[in-house]
Chains A and B, each alone.
Chain A
């Protein structure tokens, strides 16, 4: 099993009610998901339905209130601190809506950053260049993010994730900051790379046209995950 989430619940402490009693905000109410082989998975839902929260739990960026998440047989709850960071660095890649590139690094340096952070390697440069070429930006290797379009920046971010060859790629609204045409191009690229590298892609989106292109589709409604598209 590559990824398995079992009855995951997540709640946050809310603001006290008018009687001063403590309230609880339940975001996820028992979500389960199992992925056995490389495939693309979409999770659709309206804003505030809990899909981003679920993605962050799958990435190990937050802890579940109850339930378990296992990645490649490793229970995430059993890992903490640097062990969790290292596990995530090796096996999980995250693509953000806002790209989160480092402004003072060139495109090549941004792509190479995960390799450098994990001790560097003699082939690191070559791998980064190769990945940059695969996203079609080899000619922009020495340019800074501020000189690039949003589509190009997102492609850099994708290259940065894939350079480490993680088994799982998590993407939260990867086209949320892009126009329709650019978004399509980026998603095409993402899908092609993920399929070539035989990775699992779990993508949160509110766009049904994007969701339908995945191998499996789910809908998150009020913290519950159901198979199929949002109607």
Chain B
């Protein structure tokens, strides 16, 4: 009987609850679509990382893999596809110059993931051409530095290869520590070069495609166990994207935040409307009580209705999302990056089902408490006793808990969920407070100005929670829409500044000490600028705090040190001091560490390090931490020693080259290599392009998420405005009776919401800029750039949308007949 009663009442009230259904459906769409995007972005990023590595796992060592070792690796990891490569550095002779080049000899299975992109716009997935011919695919620097062209021959050891293609991008990683222009040949051509016999320093790699259930990290551990060698290096896709984690983490967090925001807005709006409905239902509950029903039965009627509303909304939203995912994949192809797929999982549905059922219970608690404390007579007269502070807290506490539970479910981390919840709560509270202040301010301005503006201002200043909710919705929608463009502009402008001189064109390595003066003179003669000329001294860390280093990197690899007594342009001292005077004989050498390097290695201020510098021990103490602006793309060092300690050690130099406008980079490279054959020259422009491309590749889905969030916010807004105006029908009718016609009343309503939207959009944009400033300075350590066009478009768009929405809703509400016209 209770179920029947509940459903009948629900059906009768379906018009009143239509707004709630709509808002809840939109609210569920938010997290379902965002989760779908998040899952898709996650999968896409993993794929991109794999493309960068060219495999799920790369195993490397300094000697050739025996066939049985390769078999063992495959068996240990369950890998069902493998590729092999050999990389080494050698001198190559060009037109009339020789220079160092890096040769990567790859077999036919390479790459497992990724494609080769060429300068002529073509793309190739396999390397059959390299295996079947004595040919090479080269990067542009090879041509520039050797003075060659496509079609020319190049000698690599005893092998002569014909240059057939110029690469724009290639999968896979190159050897660390060597900066020489790269080219590809077939693996079966390697023997012909005769360069990998007898004591050559090549790096041999096996690339693996792992089964779906295997993680690269787990597979890596098993490979080490099987090979039982300390010389083995394991690279995973995560290693391939080192440096981009912050961007990817931020964008993941952004997607989750967007999902939370949409759900929060819908949840708060639904709660607001449902509370009004439940309040009205209390009278019916009172009627049941007067006829002998128990309170729990009376409450069960409301509970069944709320559950039914929420479940129906969730099911509808899930059907919509699974349809969108199917259709969207086809239709949104242009908007999404290549290889990106929208994914809908029933896991997301289940999570939300659980959350929504918990929400239903939480929604009921305030109403149940009021029913409990109010006398029956009051309930029949549609009034309730107010709750004490303690009871109010108890009434709304379940809501807060459910909300935090939702955050944890979406974010998969308690800490981040609490931070996100706190951030959202603070944003909503601050927005609400700002709304009140703004409206009162506008009211004060119009106090002595008779007319419609004063009516509008009065309405806003005395507004109900529903109107303030509209303000909060628009503010948050504008914030979400603005956050990404400013961040993107800051990131891309940081990497690609407009003035050419601010970014170096080339890096020079292996500058011999004896060649330093000549190089400076040469630069002056060729009219290019040498900057950041710095000595490099190779060393090994033998002790950390007087103990053998535990860090694998310190155990296996040398470090590159430099020495100076002051900061350079792209550095900032964070902690400690950097002595400028050379170290005294009886002093410990001061060393300055880059803060990111310190974080990764666990080093801190005050730690002592012992370096082995070409057989000579040097004791140092970390006296300062530096922040380096790596996005300047100027060379810098993780460790900088005080002058006077290693000045006499064997060293080479590095420097960046800045060109004048109009100077040809290729011919500068050629002249450099011709004059200084031992020099390594790296084209930094290509690196910048690659970085920008990687960052921009995730922007498509993030922008999509932002636009979806804004669309859904506006749908929620429409529902709330509609409900608000329905509640004000009596007031609107009185205005009609007092002589206002429909057009005037509609103009009043539109003006009210337009003013509200203007305030919200401006504040939302300001919040977005503030948050972006915080994120750029604290997380990405880059400067803030504001995308003015995006800002103006978002504010104008918000005003247009809000006024359009309000116009439509007001027209609909005003056209409905009203009871108040009957006297």
Q: Which of A85, A116, A160, A164 contacts B450 (CB 8 A)?
A: A116
CB of B735 within 8 Å of the partner chain: yes
B271 to chain A: closest CB distance in Å? 22
CB of B788 within 8 Å of the partner chain: no
Interface size on B, residues (CB 8 A): 26
Q: 1/0 per position for A172-215, CB-CB distance to B under 8 A? A: 10000000000000000000000000000000000000000000
Would A120 and B451 count as touching, CB distance under 8 A? yes
B464 to chain A: closest CB distance in Å? 8
Q: Which of A21-29, A67-75, A88-96 forms part of the interface with chain B?
A: A88-96
Q: A94-B737, A109-B458, A113-B738 are in contact. Are A119 and B820 (CB under 8 A)?
A: no
A130 to chain B: closest CB distance in Å? 15
CB of B459 within 8 Å of the partner chain: yes
B residues with CB within 8 A of A: 450-452, 454-455, 458-459, 462-463, 730-731, 734-744, 820-823
A residues with CB within 8 A of B: 52, 55-56, 59, 61-62, 81-82, 85-86, 88-90, 94, 96-97, 100, 102, 104-105, 109, 112-122, 124-125, 160, 164, 172
Would B450 and A125 count as touching, CB distance under 8 A? yes
Q: A81-B741, A96-B823 are in contact. Are A116 and B734 (CB under 8 A)?
A: no
Minimal Cβ-Cβ distance residue in A for B740: A117
Minimal Cβ-Cβ distance residue in A for B447: A125
Known: A56-B823, A119-B452. 14 other contacts (CB 8 A): A56-B821, A62-B821, A82-B741, A82-B743, A85-B740, A85-B741, A88-B737, A88-B739, A94-B823, A102-B734, A113-B738, A116-B450, A121-B450, A125-B450
Report whether over half of chain B's contact residues are helix, strand or loop; otherwise say mixed: helix
Q: Which of B454, B738, B821 contacts A61 (CB 8 A)?
A: B821
Q: Which of B451, B462, B736, B823 contacts A104 (CB 8 A)?
A: B462
Task: Report the Cα distance A27→B783, complex, angstroms.
Answer: 78
Q: Which residues of A contact B738 (CB under 8 A)?
A: 89, 113-114, 117, 160
Would B734 and A100 count as touching, CB distance under 8 A? yes
Q: Which of B454, B462, B742, B820 contacts A120 (CB 8 A)?
A: B454
Task: Report the Cα distance A222→B162, complex, angstroms.
Answer: 112
Task: Report the Cα distance A62→B734, complex, angstroms.
Answer: 15
Minimal Cβ-Cβ distance residue in B for A86: B739
Q: Which residues of A contact B452 (CB under 8 A)?
A: 116, 119-120
Q: Which residues of A contact B736 (CB under 8 A)?
A: 85
A120 to chain B: closest CB distance in Å? 3
Q: Which residues of A contact B821 (CB under 8 A)?
A: 56, 61-62
Q: Which residues of A contact B463 (CB under 8 A)?
A: 104
Would B741 and A105 count as touching, CB distance under 8 A? no
Q: Which residues of B contact A109 (CB under 8 A)?
A: 458
Candidate in B454, B458, B740, B823 with the most chain A CB atoms within 10 angstroms: B823
Q: Which residues of A contact B458 (CB under 8 A)?
A: 104-105, 109
Q: Which residues of B contact A121 (CB under 8 A)?
A: 450
Q: Which residues of A contact B459 (CB under 8 A)?
A: 104
Would A124 and B734 count as touching, CB distance under 8 A? no
B57 to chain A: closest CB distance in Å? 67
Task: Report the Cα distance A205→B108, complex, angstroms.
Answer: 102
Q: Which residues of A contact B450 (CB under 8 A)?
A: 112, 115-116, 120-122, 124-125
Q: Which residues of B contact A86 (CB under 8 A)?
A: 739, 741
Q: Which residues of B contact A122 (CB under 8 A)?
A: 450
A222 to chain B: closest CB distance in Å? 20
Q: A61-B821, A104-B459 are in contact. Are A90 and B739 (CB under 8 A)?
A: yes
